[in-house]
Amino acid sequence: MSKRLVQDLRLPVDVALDRSTALPMYLQICRRFKTAIEQGHLKPGDRVPSARALATELAVARGTVDMAYRILADEGYVQVRGAAGTVISPTLPAPEAGTVRPVPAADPDTHPSHIDHDGNMPKPLQMGLPALDAFPRKVWNRLVGHRLRSGDVSRLAYPHPAGLDQLRQRIATYLGVSRGVSCLPEQVFITTGLRATLELTLRSLSKAGDGFWFEDPGYILARPFLLNTGLRVVPVPVDRHGLQVDEGKRLAPDARFAMVTPSHQSPLGVTLSLERRMALLDWASSVGSWIIEDDYDSEFRYQGRPLPALKSLDRHDRVIYSGTFSKVMFPGLRLAYVVAPLSVVDRFEAVAYNLNAGCPFLFQAGVADFMAEGHFSRHLKKMRALYAQRRAITQRVFNHLLADQLRIDLLAGGLHVLATLPDAADDAGMAAHVHAAGLAANPLSPWYMAARPKKGLLLGFANLVDEDDAIRVARRLRHALSAAADY
Ligand SMILES: Cc1ncc(COP(=O)(O)O)c(C=O)c1O
């Protein structure tokens, strides 16, 4: 708590401690607190740091902070509770509307407003989430707790920037067995998610102005990141066989990168056909380009056989394979990985060393243990069956209760369904109404860049726990869509 507070106090630049002004330090400290309270950074009941800790943090005498706290207490801003510490007065009124500094609005086109980053339970239908209720938390807590208690002091040092050896080994084995991807542990780099994977990859292999094929429609959260990299992002249309490789070759024959979601196109859910896979690999090897295979949720496939990764067909080592633990375990972990082609492992390694100081040891070790003890494959097996059930319930219930408003045709895999709407529908407007009603439908059209957008709602089904839950949520959706239609 005191850490958060001290950091918050640094936020308002205009109230930084200034040793050159005539305003005494203790009054400057008072002003910082008052500003932090007015701006809502500090709330009634929040604990403030001890006078000693704050004095050290701000490099002032302890008496200076004591004086500031006495004034704040006299003015009713804080309450001193002896050994229990000092807190912001619980009776302090909440800041008036308009005094809280507004947060800059996210770009509504690319920021899915349904994503809750505040630690609240996500809204029903949020896409991209695995079944949070079904993760084996007891097992996980035991494994992480065991590591935590192990008392190995070496683990308090910096972790390896490329990732924990044990985890890199486990991933290499898993990819070989389950995804047909043969690689050495040294090729596997642990990252904090897809965007960190892209950062590592692009810093290792790209230069400004390089062409980058991006699926159209394509993963909406990667787009703003890519548009900020200085690369020439080229939207390449997707049809029912996946990325139109011929179109890519026509639009940007010399592109240095192509990013694809071959197993389960994001967001349309189609599979990249074998013919297109071969054409893409041929193109990449003939022009010396790199293919980034984003294999984010291929583990969940409900129709036909699981598909091997594109990387498994890669005879010329042009594919950079990107995986994540966000779907197969849970996204709060922030652990993902990338497999670097052998010829560029040293470049990835050099960049990884410069880019950051690695991912936290504890969670990497927890995942390695989770895999080593067989929980990972058991969990995947269970989740495949559970998702198949939840997906079928969602389709049945929604198509029945919302028959006149939308139509769900099942995708072959993944954790969301696509509800199609008439072409004239305003899916973004509808999604805004749905969002206001406390649900998290995601409109399809903003996922397009240049191609003519299709209209639809992307609905995450993984957290609809049973038929009753699906019925409740479908009724709320029905109500919200009717309200949108009347608007
Ligand atoms: C298309 C796509 N790629 C990758 C990811 C994984 O991202 P991360 O590893 O950052 O959680 C997701 C998550 O929703 C996704 O939808």
Q: Which atom of ligand 1 is nearest to the CA of 196?
A: 10
Q: Which residues lie closer than 8 Å to 281 by C-beta, 6 or more apart? A: 291, 310, 313, 314, 315, 316, 318, 319
Q: pLDDT per residue over 3-44, tens digit each? A: 444 444 443 334 467 777 778 888 889 889 888 888 787 888
Atom of ligand 1 nearest to the CA of 219: 1
Cis peptide before 217 (omega within 30 of 0): yes
Ligand 1 pocket test target in 297, 415, 442 with most atoms within 8 Å of CB = 297
Burial level of 172, CB count in 10 A (0-12/13-18/19+)?
A: buried
CA 327 to centroid of ligand 1, rounded, Å: 8
Residues contacting residue 130 through CB under 8 Å, at least 6 positions apart: 326, 327, 328, 329, 330, 331, 383, 415, 462
Do 296 and 220 contact (CB within 8 A), yes or no? no
Rounded Cα distance, 376 and 367, in Å:
8
Sequence-ordered strand ranges (E) for 24-85 = 47-48, 78-80
Structure tokens at 458: 């992307």
Q: Are 391 and 127 in contact (CB under 8 A)?
A: no
Ranges under pLDDT 70 in the chain = 1-16, 95-119
Between the CA of 296 and the centroid of ligand 1 the distance, in Å, is: 6
Give the amino acid at 201: T
Å from CA of 239 to ligand 1 middle = 21
Phi/psi for 126 (5° steps) reads: -60, 130
Q: Ligand 1: which residue has its CA nearest to atom 16?
A: 128
Question: Structural domains in the chain?
Answer: 2-88 (1.10.10.10), 137-373 (3.40.640.10), 378-486 (3.90.1150.10)
Tell how far the Cα of 225 is from the centroid of ligand 1, in angstroms.
13
Whole-number pLDDT of residue 106: 54
pLDDT at 14: 42
Residue nearest to atom 13 of ligand 1 (CA): 128
- What secondary structure does DSSP assign to 329-389, as a single string? T-GGG--EEEE--GGGHHHHHHHHHHH-S---HHHHHHHHHHHHTTHHHHHHHHHHHHHHH
- Residue 114 is predicted with a pLDDT of 45
**Residue 424, pLDDT score:** 85
Residue 5 alpha carbon to ligand 1 centre in Å: 32
Residues with CB under 6 A from ligand 1: 128, 193-195, 219, 261, 266, 294, 296, 324, 326, 331, 336
466 with 135: CB under 8 angstroms? no
**Bond before 422 cis per omega within 30 degrees:** no
Cβ burial, residue 134 (10 Å; 0-12/13-18/19+): middle
